[in-house]
Structure 1
Amino acid sequence: MKRNFPRRLFPLAIGVFLLFSGCGNAAGSSAVEDVQETESISLAGEKDPETDSSCFDKDASLESRKQTIMVYMVGSSLESQMGAATVDLREMAKSGYDPDELNLIICAGGAWRWQNSAVSSSGLSIYRVLGGDLQKVSEMENENMGDPATLTEFLNFTLKHYPSDSCSLLFWDHGGGAVLGYGADEMYGYDMLTLPELERGLANSDLSGKKKLNWIGFDACMMGMLEVADILSPYSDYLIASEETEAEDGWDYSVLGDICEQNAFDGKSAGMLIEDAFAEYYEKGDNYGYIPDYTLSCIDLEKTAQVVSALEGMAAAASDRLDEKGMASLVRIRDHTKTFGKISDEDFYDYVDLYALAQSMQDLYPDEAAALQNAVLDAVVCNATNVPSARGLSVYFPYNNSEYKEEWLLEYRNICPGSIYYSFINRFSEEIDAIPSMQWDLSTNTPSGDADGSAYTVQLSEEQAASFASAATSIWSADDKDTYICWLNSRDVKLAGNVLSTGWDGRLFYLTDDSGDRYPVCAVEVERSEDYVEYAIPVMLNGLKVSAYIHVKVDDACPSGKISGIYHTLNASEEEGLYPDKTLIHIKDGDEVAPFYFARDIRFSDDHSIVPFEKWENTSGAGSAFTVKGNLEATLDIPEEEQDYLCLFRISDMQGNRYFTDYLEIRR
């Protein structure tokens, strides 16, 4: 096998990745093309002859159906760049649903370009799916899909003109979770519907005070949250949504035919069918060359109050640790709780799994934790996921994202499901900020251990251990110009007393393809659970145009690792929305991949001694690119040749500040 070490780093790429973080903007919508073109289709056949109310009063075909599904489809960049809405409209039209039983009514807009001839980007219209076609039935007075009045207008129009025994509502587009909301109208500055606006749109409609919707669904990222369930509970029996980011393919709408065939119009039955189809679609792994993480849960909204009550109980109990002495344990619990929307080792959204949070609290508060776990299990009717630690409901718990913490906490007051919980997370944030800063001088904290690094430790002082939040260990080696490259960053670190301990089995990550060549890469641990460890490998694609993370899961089934997702770096642009990018990347034969390396140049003091590692110059950049031959894979393996390495700890205190210890030299 050929050895392929990075011969050259390209500093121009430094701005794309920060050390052990992902902060770049996604370039384009896929690894290969800026726009993924879809087949130009005409979903629309003959348009209705009229669009005023008399048309619907006289049309005998509009007699009452068993159900009306209303789809609020904000096309946004998902349609204008990728045609994702067009693909889903085609799926709906070809699903084989029975139009004599089901009305399928769609409000479509919010994209500057639609990749079909049925939907116009000028103005906002309502369409009816019928006979494999879209029929335009009305033009909207309101046009901004981020305006709650637009949602109200759509609901009222549909309820008036398309009678049925029951109704359900689907929101299609980007999602940003409880704090950011849903939708991003490209025609109106990427305006989103916040949760209070979403509630206003429902409350001002003819739904208010009447029979509830059977279900409300979100084909959007990260809307499977307690805050969303709490706000929607007066208007719907069930919520169908994802805790995690969704792939651009979203839901599998062929399920509409199954819903009609099985008469599964109630929320629970529909939710189970929708989830089964969703899981089956992604388990095939056909579209991406891998099976991405997926989550979709069906939540009984009548049980929301029980979950809120249990969360309030746990927050009340945990409030006794909101002081200088107790904060360390709470910070460590929060730091190790499952989060969502995380593509690198940085956590932008601060959404945590509720069940996992309770599980982390059970040693300190066993009764309250058990009550919350049971409440979540009772509320989540079904949960389609390949992520074991995702149990169906998440909640906002600010910790990592200090940049937006103050602003988001202020807005969160309006949507927090419980006053005790809000007081708890607000005080938690205040206590972290109030902790006196200590001077972490770790230059003399030198790790010690075995010569091959299989086990090594570092001693902390009493003060350091008291302020300790988390740690990672990293493995570095030098090239021929005193540039040290990071190959592995792992959080497999334990604190016992005042001693941090870890070990390294000598394996590093490589990208491989059908040529048999191995390309060494840097890998950063993203998540560690009882079932698996997930790493992110930073890369640049196709002439450094696209920055991405290749996610690799290591578990008992795949001890050498298996690709589980390829994600754009976070698009944290306030102008275009802070929501996650739904686009999954498929790296194919012929694509160009340049591994991105976290690197530092050694530095010396005036007396020629080596300065502390954290003062070495950051020289990170993209290495030499290779062209993929056949299928791309990632593997965790032993390097072919023995080499000298540096092992060191990166320690985070309770305020999120990071420090490096001195290093231990080993040879493996």
Structure 2
Amino acid sequence: MRRRLAGPIVACLLAAGCSAGPIPDDAPQGWTVLVYSIADTDLEPFLLTDLGELGEVGTSDDVAISALADRAAGYTDEPALGLGDWEGGKVLRYTDAGVEVVEELGEVNTGDPDVLRRFVADGLAAHPAQNTAVILTDHGAAWSGVGGDESAGSDVLTLAEMRDAVAGGLADAGVEKLDLLGFDACLMATYETASAFTGVADRMLASQELEPGHGWDYRVLQVLADDPATTVDALGGALIDGFDAQAKEEGTGADITLSLVDLTRMPAVEEAMTAFGGALTERVATLAPVVGAQRASTLGFGRSPDPVEDTHMADLGILAAQIGVEALDVADEADALVRALNDAVVDRVAGQAVRGATGLSIYFPPQAEYFDAAYADVPGAGPWTRFLQGFYGAGDALPADRRPRFLGDPDASFDADGLTLVGAVDPAAAAAVSEAVITYGLVDDDGGTTFLGEEPATVDDDGQVVGVYDLTQLTISDGVDTAQAYLTLTDAGDGVSSIDVPMAYYAPGAQEYQDVLLTITVDGATGDVLDETYYAYDEVLGTFGELTADPAGIIVPEVLAVGADGEQTWTATTDVGLYADLPALRYDLAPLPSGSTLYAGLTVTDFGGGTDTAATTVTVP
């Protein structure tokens, strides 16, 4: 029979700071799993599915599963777990007979760290076990935190709040540390997160990239019911495999990441990171051009065509490895960091579009104007913040004669590949170039330009910049209407490309729209769409989360329009919107009409954020 706490003890645990005494040595060898489900957001429909998956797992005296589920108003009125529809929070305990409501919380703020602390303390003390796991699920925003409880002004749990809450709950229940801390949320597999929870848990399971709405497959927890002696690494591996399998089934497998991090090895990673960051800071004046170029080519997560909305999270392993190859002065420190990271990341999965992901990312805005000053308050971020400030300072101090400038207009030519644009920057300043792109658009009758897209260009050591454009425009059709769209193309490697399309989404009957990014992952060899997902931007969190778009809602693709006076606006491409039914959308790269006047430009950006553009207008043959 399941152990239950007497009323006075429960009341004690619901007061932060109360101690229930240590978990006894003869506690069952099984598992206690606690799921903190912040469903008071637009992810509610997905999280209700997760709660249902938990209900399919067998429980016993050796395996206990509890959840705190806080539902929102207005997203779905679907019943769940045989409990009907409800608003507010409930603490649930899963049993072989179904789900038991342990407590009605009412309108609770799941962004309050005391609520998390009390849930952890109560859940662990209610079922003492040798193995423990806490999983937080909702929106994630890397170092900024998790959540956004809409009943409490979108209150977010910061890293520091979560660390203190979980650590406090462990202390209250007399548990030294967790076996597994999980984040079924976007972007949480970061150096900052792992560093913050070192000493709080042995393992961390989290994603570097934006997660699809379906998240993890919680039916995988059946491995615990089948074998309560399952190790934490075996559980982490099973959750990774389950997530991978479900993503493939749902058609979202191309962009997923999930990594299992051994937090007991994080002190070695932190030591290597401090040495690496210190070496970069000492040599930042000379290494900044190399760092800037490698940052621009490093795999990023939570990307956006608008740098203000980009999360600026870069893969730490790739970044360190590339810098180590290009900057021999810090090669030893870079190699040591890569080895420490490889030791700490004990298991992982990455889809085709992010295949090179190494398991942990780090915050690295390419320019100072995008750096969030709140980052300096993140636990353990001091050394990296000092490097970033030094890097930005080096960019500001870059002399005018070392800032890349084009030497005249670009040369344009047409061939079977489309338009090739070739420009030249002063070779003496070419080393400062971090990034080069080709942009293109149709010239309007009034002299303005409607831009159609942006793609990477190349720049060599001699300062030659080359961009190629295939003379097509992306169109999207819902089967009734068709609209042109703006695309940002990223080469993901292995013949896979990622296309980001900015849009406005109108829910049925709504007059206001949400900024939405449609991300399409394409197999370049076959043209097959591997994945397509809407992501909505959350201004409070400063990141994207999957949008549950109503098929009857309307999407309107947006393009960048630049007037003859130079004013830039993102504007709708058509007066007619498209239905937001994602599976029904069809994409085409339609050839530009012959005779169209085309603007094409090459833009280089130096590591200090300075830019220069060489452009021309041509007539499409």
Q: What range describes the TM-score normalised by the shorter chain of this pair?
A: 0.7 to 0.9
| 2:374 corresponds to 1:408 | yes
Q: Residue 145 of structure 2 is aligned with which of 173, 181, 186?
A: 181
How is 1:351-366 mapped onto 2 (pairs within 5 angstroms)? 351-361=313-323, 362-365=325-328, 366=331
Aligned residue for 1:425? 388
Greater fraction strand: 2
Equivalent AA in structure 2 for residue 550 of structure 1:
L
What residue in structure 1 maps to residue 614 of structure 2? 661
Show the counterpart of 2:262. 300
Distance 1:553 1:54 in 2: 49
Contact 2:187/2:301 (<8 A) preserved:
yes
CA distance in structure 2 between the partners assigned to 1:662 and 1:343 by the alignment: 24
Tell whether the 8 Å contact from 1:321 to 1:330 is kept in structure 2 after alignment: no
Q: 1:625 aligns with which of 576, 583, 586?
A: 576
Provide the rounded CA distance (Å) in 2 between the counterparts of 1:155 and 1:564: 36
Q: Give the distance between the partners of 1:627 and 1:409, measured in 2 at CA.
A: 39
1:154 to 115, 119, 135: 119
Change over 3 Å in CA distance of 1:637–1:383 after alignment to 2: farther
Partner of 1:30: none
SS in 2 for 1:355: helix
CA distance in 1, matches of 2:522, 2:149: 39
Which residue does the alignment assign to 1:600? 562
Distance 1:513 1:99, change over 3 A: same
Alignment of 1:177-326 (within 5 A): 177-178=142-143, 180-207=144-171, 210-263=175-228, 265-285=230-250, 291=253, 293-323=255-285, 325-326=286-287
Partner of 1:13: none
Q: Which residue of 1 aligns with 2:23?
A: none
Task: Quote how far apart the aligned CAs of 1:420 are.
Answer: 4.3
Structure 2 CA distance for partners of 1:592 and 1:563, relative to 1, 3 Å = farther
2:488 paired residue among 482, 502, 524: 524
| CA distance in 2 between partners of 1:372 and 1:531 (Å) | 29
Residues 561, 86 of structure 1: alpha-carbon distance in 2 compared, 3 angstrom cutoff: closer
SS in 2 for 1:390: coil
How far does the alpha carbon of each residue in 1:26-81 deviate from its partner, in whole angstroms, 9 at most, with x for none? Answer: xxxxxxxxxxxxxxxxxxxxxx9985549999xxxxx94711111222222135xx
Match of 2:41 in 1: 77
1:261-303 deviations in Å (ceiling 9; x for gaps)? 24463211111111111111111136xxx65621111111122
Q: Deviations over 1:7-31 (max 9, x none)?
A: xxxxxxxxxxxxxxxxxxxxxxxxx
Q: Does 1:566 align with 2:533?
A: yes
Q: Which amino acid in 1 is paired with 2:395? A: I
Q: Partners of 2:453 and 2:529 in 1: how far apart?
A: 16
Q: 1:549 — aligned with what?
A: 517
> 1:134 offset after TM fit, Å?
2.8
Please provide the CA RMSD for this pair. Answer: 3.7
* Structure 1 SS opposite 2:65: strand
Over 3 Å counting, the alpha-carbon distance change for 1:490 and 1:264 in structure 2 is farther
Task: Deviation per CA, 1:134-190: give whole Å up to 9, x if none.
Answer: 322246799543333332222222222212232111112222212x11222333332
Residues 477-532 of structure 1: CA distance to partner in whole angstroms, max 9, x if unpaired? Answer: 235554432223111322332322222333443335668x8754321224554653
Q: What residue is the counterpart of 2:545 in the other structure?
A: 581
Q: In the TM superposition, what is the alpha-carbon distance from 1:599 to its structure 2 partner?
A: 2.4
Aligned to 2:67: 106
Is the contact between residue 527 and residue 534 of structure 1 (CA under 8 Å) also seen in structure 2?
A: yes
2:510 maps to 1:510: no
Give distance in 2, aligned partners of 1:264 and 1:504: 57
Q: CA deviation at 1:636?
A: 3.7
Counterpart CA distance in 2 for 1:254 and 1:666 is 58
CA separation of 1:529 and 1:263: change in aligned 2, threshold 3 A: same
Name 1:66's counterpart in structure 2. 30
DSSP-derived class of the 1:68 partner: strand
| Aligned-pair CA distance for 1:111 | 4.2
1:201 maps to amino acid: A
- For residues 361 and 564 of structure 2, the distance between their equivalents in structure 1, rounded to whole angstroms, comes to 43
- Deviation, structure 1 residue 204: 2.5
Residues 264 and 270 in structure 1, CA contact (< 8 A), matched pair in contact too: no
Between 1:228-237 and 1:528-537, the stretch displaced more is 528-537
**CA contact under 8 A between 2:476 and 2:586: conserved in structure 1?**
yes
Aligned to 1:393: 360
Moved more, 95-104 or 109-118: 109-118
Task: Name the structure 2 match of 1:349.
Answer: 311
Report the more deviating stretch, 623-632 or 184-193.
623-632
Distance 1:501 1:481 in 2: 29
Q: Is the 8 A contact 1:599 1:619 kept in 2?
A: yes
Distance 1:443 1:216, change over 3 A: closer
Separation of aligned partners in 1, 2:229 and 2:448: 62
Tell me, in whole angstroms, the C-alpha distance in 1 between the residues paired with 2:90 and 2:8.
13
Q: 1:472 aligns with which of 434, 437, 449?
A: 437
- Determine which of 292, 296, 314 is the counterpart of 1:331: 292
Q: Distance in 1 between matches of 2:512 and 2:254?
A: 24
The aligned residue for residue 408 of structure 2 is 445
Using a 3 Å threshold, how does the CA distance of structure 1 residues 85 and 133 change in structure 2: closer, same or farther? farther
Structure with greater contact order relative to length (CA < 8 Å, sep ≥ 6):
1
1:77 aligned counterpart, secondary structure = coil
* Aligned residue in 2 for 1:129: 94
| Matches of 1:294 and 1:245, distance apart in 2 | 7
Instruction: Give the total of aligned pairs.
Output: 585
Query: Whole-Å Cα distance in 1 between the matches of residues 490 and 333 of structure 2?
Result: 29
Q: CA 1:360–1:121 in 2, change beyond 3 Å: closer, same or farther?
A: same
| The one of 363, 369, 375 aligned to 2:334 | 369
Secondary structure of the 2:326 match is: coil
TM-score with structure 2 setting the length: 0.83
What is the one-letter code of the residue matched to 1:363? E
1:650 to 593, 603, 608: 603
Given that 2:446 and 2:564 are in contact with CA atoms closer than 8 Å, whether structure 1 keeps it comes out as no
Instruction: Choose 478-487 or 216-225, whichever is displaced more.
Output: 478-487
Distance 1:544 1:663, change over 3 A: farther
State the SS of the aligned residue for 1:496: coil
Distance 1:457 1:666, change over 3 A: farther
* TM superposition score normalised by structure 1: 0.77
Residues 617-661 of structure 1, C-alpha deviations (whole Å, 9 max, x = no match): 658433243656983232445446464422211232333344432
Please say if residues 243 and 392 of structure 1, whose CA atoms lie closer than 8 Å, have aligned partners that are also in contact. yes
Is the Cα–Cα contact under 8 Å of residues 437 and 455 in structure 2 kept in the other structure? yes
Q: Name stretches of at least 5 consecutive residues in structure 2 with no aligned partner.
A: 14-19, 21-26
Q: Residue 60 of structure 1 aligns with which residue?
A: none
**Ranges in structure 1 where 5+ consecutive residues have no aligned partner:** 1-47, 58-62, 604-614
Among 340, 350, 358, the alignment partner of 2:301 is: 340
Is this contact kept in 1: 2:350–2:356, CA < 8 A? no
Which residues of 2 match residues 49-60 of structure 1 at below 5 A? 51-53=7-9
Residues in 1 aligned to 2:179 and 2:589: alpha-carbon distance in whole angstroms: 47
Work out the CA distance in 1 between the residues paired with 2:475 and 2:397.
43
In structure 2, distance between residues paired with 1:192 and 1:546 = 20
Percent sequence identity over aligned pairs: 21
Q: Distance in 1 between matches of 2:618 and 2:10?
A: 83
